[in-house]
Amino acid sequence: MLPQYIKRLQMVFDFANFSFPSWRLPTGFRYVSWQPSMLSAHADVKYRGFRNDSDARIFPTFRDYDRCVKLMESISASPSFLPEATLLIANGNEQELFEYVACIQGMRLSGEIGAIQNVAVLPDYRCRGIGRALVLGSLWGFQKNGIQRVTLEVTADNIPATKLYTHVGFKTFNVHFHQVIDE
C-alpha cells in the first residue's frame, strides 16, 4: 500500500502595521488563563477537538487522551512555553456548570518569534466566533511579551481554520506534506 500524505500550510502573522480589531467572546463564554492546574483541561479539549479530525491521522497523539496529557506536560514544561499566549475558553460561569470548549498554547521560538500550538475548538462550538476570539486572545498575549511574528501550521483541507487565520492576518509562507500514520 502506498503511503498517504496530507497537505499542511505553514503560516506567519506579523505585528508590523497591525492594530487589534475590537473583539469579544460570544455571550456566555469566558477566557481562562493558563495555570498548571489547567493542564488536564487543555489535554481534554485537545483530545476531544482533534480525535476525529484529519490532524489525528498525522499526529496519533490526538487519538488518545493520556497521550494528550503527556503532550501538554511536554509543552508546559518547555523553557519556550509562553503562559500569556495559552488560553482555554469556557462556556458558562464558575458558579454554575461549565464546559471548556476551546484551547490554544503559545511558545516563544526565539526572542521575537512565537508559535501557536494546537488550536482546538470542540465540534459543537465551531463556527461561532470562538476560534477567532481564541486566536486573537493568544496574539494579545504574544504581543504583550514582545513577540513580533507568530507562526502556526494548519492542515490545508481545514477550510474554516485556514479562512480564520487568513482573515486574522496570517499569510502562508510554506507548504509541505505529512505522512498519514496508521496505528
Let me know if 25 is exposed, middle or buried by CB neighbors in 10 A (0-12, 13-18, 19+).
buried
**All domains of the chain, ordered by start, with CATH?**
5-179 (3.40.630.30)
C-alpha cell at 166: 487568513
* Spatial distance between the Cα atoms of 108 and 115, rounded to a whole number of angstroms: 6
H-state helical runs in the chain:
39-50, 55-58, 65-77, 130-144, 159-168
* Spatial distance between the Cα atoms of 160 and 8, rounded to a whole number of angstroms: 14
What is the predicted pLDDT for the residue at 29?
A: 93
pTM more than 0.85:
yes
C-alpha cell at 2: 502506498
Q: What's the farthest any 2 CA atoms get from each other in the chain?
A: 54
Q: Which residues of the chain have pLDDT under 70?
A: 93-97, 183
C-alpha cell at 15: 505585528
Contact between residue 17 and residue 175 where contact means Cβ atoms under 8 Å apart? no
pLDDT in tens, 38-63: 999 999 999 999 998 888 787 888 98
What Å distances lie between residue 51 and 10, 62, 70, 183, CA to CA?
21, 5, 15, 13
Query: Is beta strand 113-121 parallel, antiparallel or unpaired with respect to 5-14?
Result: unpaired
What is the predicted pLDDT for the residue at 111?
A: 86
Of 83, 170, 95, nearest in space to 132 by CA: 170
